[in-house]
Structure formats: C-alpha cells, structure tokens
Amino acid sequence: MDEYILDVREVKKNYGNIEAVKQASFALRANSRLIIKGPSGGGKTTLLRLLAGLEVPDEGQIYINGCLASSNDFTLAPNLRKMGFVFQSPALWPHLTVRSNILFGLGGLPKEKRQARLDELLEAIELPDYKDRYPDQLSGGEARRVALARSLAPEPPCMLMDEPLTSLDDSLKEKMLVLIGNEATRTGSALVYVTHDRQEASALGGAILNMKDGHLEQ
C-alpha cells in the first residue's frame, strides 16, 4: 500500500439527490499517469476536488503516500497534501504579478533558486518577459500557461489537472503537453489529467479511465 502516492478507495460523493461520484477506486504510483475522460457533468471535476481536499467524500477513503487524507469524518488540509492543481479556469490572483503568482508556492526556497525556477518556467511556457504583468494584462491562453507554471513550480509529488489546455491553439497545446510530460518525468510526479481531447490523452500516455454519470470505468 505504501508505494502508492495516491490510493482512492470506493469514494462516493453526492450533491443532494445527485450522485456525482459513485464508488471510485484507483491507485497511482510515482511517475505514473492517469487520464480521465468523459462527458461534461460526469463527475470528473468533483473527483479531482476530492483528491485535492477541496471536498469531503460521503463514503470511502483517500490515502496519500499511505496516510489517510480524506474520509467522511477527516480531511487533511489541501496545502498539506502537496499536490498541484490546475483548475478549469486559470484562477490567477488578480492583485499579484505573474512572478508573484508563480512564486506563491515556493516560500521555503532560497531566493536564487526561486528566481532560477521562475525563469525556467517562464521560458518553458514561452512568456519570459511577462514577469511583471498582472493577470488582466494577459490573454486567455497566456493566463492558462501561467496557471500551469504556478502549479508546476513547487514540483509537487502529485499533479491534478482539470482540462488545463482548453482554448490553447494546437501548436501551443503540443508544447505544453511536452512540458507537463517532461516535468512529471523529471520530478517523478504522479499525474491525474482530466480532458475531453483524445489527442491530449494519447500524447500524455498512461492509463485511461472513462467517467460517466459518476461511474469510473476502464
């Protein structure tokens, strides 16, 4: 059990009468990838939010690195789970510059290392001169790339991505997929990636699960 970074056991989540997630179970080791596909309203985002600790499951448990992180009466705070999360919308903090947004999660590192990581990521997302811009000075696609860099910056052991590349053009999408893949490989992170796009799913590789009406199936 301990070798799994993420272990999801029969997790269930209801909103009123609607069963958003029904008995979801899977486990992920370090350096592995899981792609979750499926129609809108199928429960994919809810599942990611449960993994991130932003929702409490009604039933089942979630273990992170072998320790209980979520059950119906216990939730480990999201920041203690050490996960990266790219939301469906960029959710950049409007009062912070691109630099501050990306560095927000790098509090513990020395200044030089933080600066180096910032430069490296800005280079990778092809926005090297955007450090001092505010989110309202970015286009939709640029904001998405900054959001991606923000979640990659702390090199989390597990990354959750909820349709992170929607609205990017094909060439940029391809480059960002390479970046995500490389970062996951380099840091040994487990990756849970939600998408509608077959191309993205096949480019990333890894196991593919389908989620429909709250059911997670092969």
Footprint on this chain of another protein (rule: CB under 8 A)? 15-18, 20, 41, 43-46, 49, 52-56, 75, 77-79, 83-85, 87, 89, 91, 93-95, 104-105, 107, 150-151, 154
31: left (phi over 0), alpha (psi -120 to 50) or beta: left
Q: Assess contact for 115 and 66: CB atoms under 8 A.
A: no
Shortest separation between residue 85's beta carbon and another protein, angstroms: 5
Angle between helices 140-152 and 111-124 (to 10 degrees): 140
Beta strands in 59-157 (DSSP E): 59-64, 67-71, 74-75, 83-86
Closest to another protein by CB, 159 or 165 = 159
In the complex, what is the shortest distance from the CB of residue 68 to another protein, in angstroms, rounded to a whole number? 15
We find the least distance from the C-beta atom of residue 71 to another protein, in angstroms, to be 13
Q: Tokens at residue 122, please?
A: 């800005």
The least CB distance from residue 89 to another protein, in Å, is 7
Q: Which is nearer to another protein, 54 or 127 (CB)?
A: 54
Looking at the Cβ atoms of 75 and 189, the one nearer to another protein is 75
At closest approach, how far in Å is the CB of 155 from another protein? 12
H/E segment holding residue 121 = helix 111-124
Closer Cβ to another protein, 79 or 218, answer by number: 79
* Residues whose CB is less than 8 angstroms from the CB of residue 14 and which lie 6 or more positions away in sequence, other chains included: 20, 58
User: For residue 26, what are its two tokens?
Assistant: 């899977």
CB of 122 to another protein, least distance (A): 18
Cβ distance to another protein smaller for residue 32 or 101:
101
Tokens coding 201: 């799913």
CB 114 within 8 A of CB 103: yes
Instruction: Pick between residue 18 and residue 178 the one whose CB is nearest to another protein.
Output: 18
**How long, in residues, is the chain?**
218
